[in-house]
């Protein structure tokens, strides 16, 4: 497999393989795929003050994600991380995409999986890495038994109720730190 570093300025220590795409999201920004509902960002000042000084820290070896605000731990959630050969990239990133009820395209067959209980992305998508074709992010999962495991193609799988809570707290631009 060919390995390639991401297009972002931060270079991960363990870049993921890029063929075929681990996640194909169907977003309004990528019309060649199909459609999805990009979740609108909140406009009120209360949400802006809540999200101020917010950062998300993924600790791969602990299989947990931690949410900090003003250097204070707010909460943490169990996660699944990238499996061998598809490791979650280590580094500093930002939330670049948020989608409610995502649609997914199977990377091998091209089958379109609409939002719903069988969608591998669950109820929410929070993207933080892309090379322009492949995406990595937080998402829910119908396969709850994989949470706590190295089971994904680089993404951070979460219980649906946990990704819903995280989705309410973060916004585009929120810092995401991935540690070994």
Q: What residues are labeled active site?
A: 139, 155
Angstrom distance (rounded) from CA 118 to CA 163: 16
Q: Is the pLDDT of residue 148 over 60?
A: yes
pLDDT (tens digit per residue) in 73-96: 999 999 999 999 999 999 999 999
What does pTM read for this prediction? 0.74
Percent of the chain at pLDDT > 90 equals 65
Q: Is the pLDDT of residue 175 over 60?
A: yes
Nearest to 147 by CA among 25, 75, 64: 64
pLDDT (tens digit per residue) in 118-142: 899 999 999 999 988 889 999 999 9
Comparing 97 with 41, the larger pLDDT belongs to 97
Token pair 């917010």: residue: 54
Token pair 């795929």: residue: 33
């Amino acid at each position: 497999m060919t390995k390639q570093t991401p297009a972002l300025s931060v270079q991960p220590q363990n870049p993921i393989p890029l063929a075929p795409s681990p996640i194909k999201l169907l977003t309004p920004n990528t019309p060649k795929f199909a459609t999805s509902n990009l979740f609108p960002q909140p406009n009120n000042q209360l949400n802006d003050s809540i999200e101020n000084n917010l950062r998300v820290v993924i600790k791969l070896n602990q299989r947990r994600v931690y949410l900090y605000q003003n250097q204070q731990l707010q909460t943490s959630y169990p996660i699944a991380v990238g499996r061998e050969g598809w490791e979650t990239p280590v580094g500093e990133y930002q939330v670049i995409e948020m989608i409610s009820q995502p649609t997914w395209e199977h990377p091998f067959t091209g089958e379109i999986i609409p939002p719903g209980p069988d969608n591998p992305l669950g109820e929410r998508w929070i993207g933080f890495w892309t090379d322009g074709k492949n995406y990595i992010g937080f998402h829910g999962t119908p396969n709850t038994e994989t949470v706590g495991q190295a089971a994904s193609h680089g993404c951070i799988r979460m219980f649906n109720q946990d990704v819903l809570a995280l989705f309410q707290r973060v916004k585009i631009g929120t810092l995401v730190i991935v540690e070994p």
